[in-house]
Amino acid sequence: MDNIVNSGSPKKIAGDTRNNWVTMMFVTHNRYNCFRKQIYIDLCIQAFHDLERFGFEFGDFGFALNHVHFLVNIPKRYSVQTAEIMLKSYTAKKMFEHFPGFRKRYPRGGFWSGYDHYESTGWKSLDQSTAYVRDQARHHNAYVIDEKQQRLPTIARPPSEIRQRPIGLAEERRRNGVIGVEPLFHLTLYEFPYLRIEISIGHLILIKSKIQKCSLISPKKNKTFIKEE
């Protein structure tokens, strides 16, 4: 049965949200049942607390017969690996100093095994942290200007609508020599037997007509007309 102990550490500053809480698990070497007696558990907890002078902060401890689970707030100057080495080496040293009988079980030293398990804990869950990150604009009442180009719904049309224009009209414009893209809207201003002028909203329509010059004799004077082929 696990023994739960609260460290009651006074190191936490009120209102300070900075933390690096990690849940760790240490297993005894060869998984021997070294925590059958309460005096072993009490000494191990005291050894952990001795490391608070280096900035560590401890939460609850849960001891089984051959392993311990505990919460620790690791200072930012230490990596998880460095923290694990410090915690294991110091607690093992204290266990051997106060209880030399463990030397018979571990003649080569090494109270803890090389196995480790750790996971980030913190004061917030992953869902709470994600929601807080996504809600920063509303939380700080910040208005972000989106400068991405916007489509004009009154002028621009999706390509699917342009492709659905009647084939006959497109073919007629090709034969008349229209250069450029298809207009979104067009209007015929003048239409004569020899020339047709169109305007377009958004695009300039150029008409390349096949024309030839021919001279016609007028009763009054000679004039040159432009006649379409």
Q: Is 79 helix (H, G, I), strand (E, B) or coil?
A: coil
Question: Do residues 41 and 98 touch, judged by C-beta distance below 8 A?
Answer: no
**Mean pLDDT of all residues in 96-122:** 91
User: For residue 209, is pLDDT > 50?
Assistant: no
CA angle 68, 16, 75 (to 5 degrees): 45
DSSP 163-209: HTS-HHHHHHHHHTTEESSPPSEEEEEEE-SS-EEEEEESS--EE--
pTM of the model: 0.55
Q: Is 46 helix (H, G, I), strand (E, B) or coil?
A: helix
**Mean pLDDT of all residues in 129-147:** 78
State the pLDDT at residue 35: 94
Same domain, 116 and 19: yes
**Extended beta strands in 34-130, E state:** 57-63, 67-73, 112-120
Tens digits of residue pLDDT in 24-34:
999 999 999 99
Tokens for 101, please give them.
């009988």
User: For residue 17, is pLDDT > 80?
Assistant: no
State the pLDDT at residue 18: 81
Other CB atoms within 10 Å distance of the CB of residue 221: 6
Q: Is 94 helix (H, G, I), strand (E, B) or coil?
A: helix
**Mean pLDDT of all residues in 89-110:** 94
Same domain, 25 and 130: yes
Question: Do residues 73 and 56 touch, judged by C-beta distance below 8 A?
Answer: yes
Angstrom distance (rounded) from CA 81 to CA 105? 26
User: For residue 120, is pLDDT > 70?
Assistant: yes
In a domain, 104, yes or no: yes
Tens digits of residue pLDDT in 147-200:
776 665 655 556 565 555 555 555 666 666 554 545 555 555 555 555 555 555
Full residue range of the structural domain in which residue 219 is found = 159-228
Look at the block and give the residue holding tokens 């689970």: 69
Q: What string of H, E and C letters represents the secondary structure of 129-147? A: HHHHHHCHHHHCCCCCCCC
The bridge status of strand 21-28 relative to strand 112-120 is antiparallel
Q: Please name which of 51, 55, 58, 61 lies closest in space to residue 88, comparing C-alpha atoms.
A: 51
Tokens for 32, please give them.
């021997």
Tokens for 41, please give them.
């558990």
In a domain, 35, yes or no: yes
109 vs 198 pLDDT, higher one: 109
Average pLDDT over the chain, rounded to whole? 74
Q: Domain with 13 in it: what CATH number?
A: 3.30.70.1290
Domain count, the chain: 2
In a domain, 149, yes or no: no
Q: Residue 161: in which H helix or E strand, if any?
A: helix 159-163
Same domain, 127 and 22: yes
State the pLDDT at residue 15: 65
Tens digits of residue pLDDT in 42-91:
999 999 999 999 999 999 999 999 999 999 999 999 999 999 999 999 99
Q: Please name which of 35, 45, 26, 31 lies closest in space to residue 84, comparing C-alpha atoms.
A: 26
In a domain, 224, yes or no: yes
State the pLDDT at residue 88: 96
Same domain, 83 and 185: no
The model's confidence at residue 135, banded by pLDDT at 50, 70 and 90, is: confident
Angstrom distance (rounded) from CA 74 to CA 72? 6
Angstrom distance (rounded) from CA 175 to CA 172? 5
